[in-house]
Structure 1
Amino acid sequence: MPVKIAVNGYGTIGKRIVDAVLSNKDFRLVGIAKYRVDYSAYLAARKGIPIYVPRERASEFREAGLEPHGYVDYLFEEADLIYDASPGGKGAGNKKIYESYGKPGVFQGGEEPGVAELSYSTLCNFEEALNKKYVRVVSCNTTGMLRLLCTLHREYGVKRALSVIIRRAADPKEDQRGPVNSILLDPPSIPSHHGLDARTVAPWLDIVTAAAVVPTTLMHMQFIEVELSTQVNRGDVVELLDGINRFLLVESASTGIDSTSKVMELARDSGRPRGDIYENIVFIDSLSINASRLYLFQGIHQESIVIPENIDVAYAMLGIESDPLKVMERVDSTLGIGGLRRFISPHGYIQIGGAP
């Protein structure tokens, strides 16, 4: 029987989790929780997604021509697992509600680590999430860093790392945020919170992070320096990363893809829903190695990169599958992760044909 899933919230992350659940035969979407009438509520209704609302707001939805499928408490009662996709900071209060129904929950990186038993990233600590009741999937930047660093650590050992993060200022719809014409240190001090967040998943990781916000809505860019425990060959690192679908290696010199905007254009032109990019975009022209020290730039699509990990973790929490490689293969297949390689080969050559 498919696992019954509820999604509490239908914003940037929530709507993408909903689509991922709908594409996966192992899950069945019970519905979403909505708390106000807006364009996303109309879109969800048009797509046939069951909408559950607070009892005291049901009349607002009906007056707007949206008949609720039921009340939020019914949604939580029916679900086997609840994804909390509410605005950051609300998860701790929501957790008390989930606990009252005895239901497990997945929280997002905007929540404090203490909201869950475990902070999570698939390539780092999938096994630790087995049969856990409350898990927090770390933020977009932290997810991107951990995918890379845990992969390198497993193969070569990581002694220490530095990450300088060039952050997008806002998601595309967040027209109230800035900066508009500035580069803003975020925070002004070093380290930024990203390294601290990464250590909630990988306590062995010695990392310093710094961040600045720039006026773009497209993606983050990370410069990462890693000191490995052994000397490595560049070709071996390329082969290692190329062997994992959640990395897309882009050779700028041969493709002309040398910016976040061109990566986004590739995703849109290839047919990816919303132009989402679930993969770390590794610009392999930047990948250089000096003995045991590795340097590279990678692009991180903040709206979608955490979606695979959100789906992976359900398999662990509910005891559906204990092998992370099998879970990743299944999730990658349903989301089309790795499909962009049909348009750009691992070494950057344009290829025609195939689905994204």
Structure 2
Amino acid sequence: MPVKVAVNGSGTIGKRIVDSVLLNKDFKLVGVAKYKPDYQAYLMIEKGIPVFVPRDRAGEFINSGIEPSGYIDYLFEEADLIYDASPGGKGVLNKKIYEKHGKPVVFQGGEDPEIAEISYSTFCNYSDAINKKNVRVVSCNTTGMLRLLCILEKEYGVKKALAVIIRRAADPKEDNRGPVNSILLDPPEIPSHHGVDARTVAPWLNITSAAVVVPTTLMHMQFIEVELKSPVKKDEVLEVLGRYRRFLLIDSARTGIDSTSKLMELARDAGRMRGDIYENSVFIDTVKIEDTRLYLFQGIHQESIVIPENMDVAYAILGLEHDQYRVVEKTDSLLGVGSLEKLIKTSRHRLKGENHE
């Protein structure tokens, strides 16, 4: 029998979780919790997705032409697993409701680590999430860092790392956020929360992070410096990362893809839903090795990079699969993770001939 899944919220992450659940034959979407009759609610009704609402707001939905499938408490009671995709900070309030229903919950990185039994990233601690009741999938930037660093730890050992994060100011729909014409220290101190958060998943990790916000909505960019425990060569590192679909290795010199805007254009042209990029976008021209020290830039699409981990963790929480690599293979195939890498490799000559000015 498919696992019955409820999603609380339909924002940037919630709507993507909904789409992923609908693709997965192992899951059945029971419904989505909505709190106001906005365009997302209309779209879900049009798609045949059951919408559940608070009891005291049902009339507001009905008056707006949206017929709810029921009340939110019914939704949570019916589900085997709940995804909390509410705005950051709301999860801690929702947790009290979930506990009444006794259902396992996946929280998102906008919540404090204390909300869950563990914070999670697949390549770091999949086995630790098996049969847990509450798990927090870490944020987009932390997910991108941990994918890279936990693989490097497995292959070579990591002594310490530095991450400098150039953050997007807002998601595309968030027209009330800034800065508009500035580079903002975020926070105005070192370290930023990203490295601290990474250690909630990988306590062994000696990492310092710093971040600034810039006026773009497209993606984050990370500069990563890693001191490894043994000397490596560039080709070796690229070969290791190339084994994983969740790394998109971009040869800027050959393809002309040297910016976040071109990456997003690639994803849209390739037919990715919403132009999503689930992979760490590693610019291989920036990969530099000095003995045991590794440097690189990687792009992080904040809207979608955590979606694979959100799918993986359900198999762990529910005890459906103990082998993380089988789960990763299933999730990657389901979402088409890795397909952009194939497109780039087969299109290099065409892309090189285009005008990229």
Query: What is the TM-score of this pair, normalised by structure 2?
Result: 0.97
1:330 shift after superposition = 0.2
1:171-186 mapped onto 2 (5 Å cutoff): 171-186=171-186
Structure-1 residue corresponding to 2:46: 46
What amino acid sits opposite 2:262 in the alignment? Answer: K
1:342 shift after superposition = 2.4
What amino acid sits opposite 1:140 in the alignment? Answer: C
Q: Distance in 2 between matches of 1:6 and 1:59?
A: 22
Q: Distance in 2 between matches of 1:228 and 1:346?
A: 33
1:82 counterpart = 2:82: yes
1:212 counterpart = 2:229: no
Query: Deviation string for 1:25-74 (max 9, x for gaps)?
Result: 00000000000111111111111110000111000000000000010011
* Cα distance change of structure 1 residues 322 and 39 upon mapping to structure 2, 3 Å threshold: same
> Contact 1:251 / 1:347 at 8 angstroms: preserved in 2?
no
Q: Distance in 1 between matches of 2:217 and 2:12?
A: 13
What amino acid sits opposite 2:123 in the alignment? Answer: L
What amino acid sits opposite 2:58 in the alignment? Answer: A
Q: Distance in 2 between matches of 1:141 and 1:218?
A: 14
Q: Which runs of 4+ in 1 moved over 3 A?
A: 346-351
What amino acid sits opposite 1:125 in the alignment? Answer: N
Secondary structure class of the residue paired with 1:316: helix
1:148 counterpart = 2:148: yes
* Cα distance change of structure 1 residues 64 and 172 upon mapping to structure 2, 3 Å threshold: same
What amino acid sits opposite 1:81 in the alignment? Answer: L
Secondary structure class of the residue paired with 1:345: helix
Structure-1 residue corresponding to 2:158: 158
Structure-2 residue corresponding to 1:118: 118
Q: Distance in 2 between matches of 1:282 and 1:74?
A: 44
Q: Distance in 2 between matches of 1:346 and 1:162?
A: 34
Structure-2 residue corresponding to 1:223: 223
1:35 counterpart = 2:35: yes
Secondary structure class of the residue paired with 1:331: helix
* Cα distance change of structure 1 residues 298 and 346 upon mapping to structure 2, 3 Å threshold: farther
1:348 shift after superposition = 5.7
1:245 shift after superposition = 0.2
What amino acid sits opposite 2:135 in the alignment? Answer: V
Query: Deviation string for 1:193-219 (max 9, x for gaps)?
Result: 000000000000000000000000000
Q: Distance in 2 between matches of 1:341 and 1:153?
A: 24
Structure-2 residue corresponding to 1:277: 277
1:345 shift after superposition = 1.9
1:155 shift after superposition = 0.2
* Cα distance change of structure 1 residues 230 and 349 upon mapping to structure 2, 3 Å threshold: farther
1:175-324 mapped onto 2 (5 Å cutoff): 175-324=175-324
Unaligned regions of 5+ residues in structure 1, if any?
A: 352-356
Query: Deviation string for 1:290-310 (max 9, x for gaps)?
Result: 000000000000000000000
> Contact 1:343 / 1:350 at 8 angstroms: preserved in 2?
no
Query: Deviation string for 1:124-145 (max 9, x for gaps)?
Result: 0000000000000000000000
Secondary structure class of the residue paired with 1:264: helix
Q: Distance in 2 between matches of 1:161 and 1:349?
A: 36
1:187 shift after superposition = 0.6
Structure-1 residue corresponding to 2:354: none
CA RMSD of aligned residues (A): 1.1
> Contact 1:118 / 1:135 at 8 angstroms: preserved in 2?
yes
Query: Deviation string for 1:313-348 (max 9, x for gaps)?
Result: 000000000000000000001100011122112996
Unaligned regions of 5+ residues in structure 2, if any?
A: 352-357
Q: Distance in 1 between matches of 2:348 and 2:70?
A: 50
Secondary structure class of the residue paired with 2:287: strand
Structure-2 residue corresponding to 1:354: none
What amino acid sits opposite 1:96 in the alignment? Answer: K
Q: Distance in 1 between matches of 2:159 and 2:348?
A: 30
Q: Distance in 2 between matches of 1:169 and 1:86?
A: 20
Q: Distance in 2 between matches of 1:283 and 1:326?
A: 27
Q: Distance in 2 between matches of 1:341 and 1:251?
A: 10
Structure-2 residue corresponding to 1:330: 330
The percent identity for this pair of structures is 72
Q: Distance in 1 between matches of 2:346 and 2:154?
A: 22
Q: Distance in 2 between matches of 1:94 and 1:194?
A: 24
Structure-2 residue corresponding to 1:7: 7
Secondary structure class of the residue paired with 1:226: strand
1:268 shift after superposition = 0.1
> Contact 1:252 / 1:348 at 8 angstroms: preserved in 2?
no
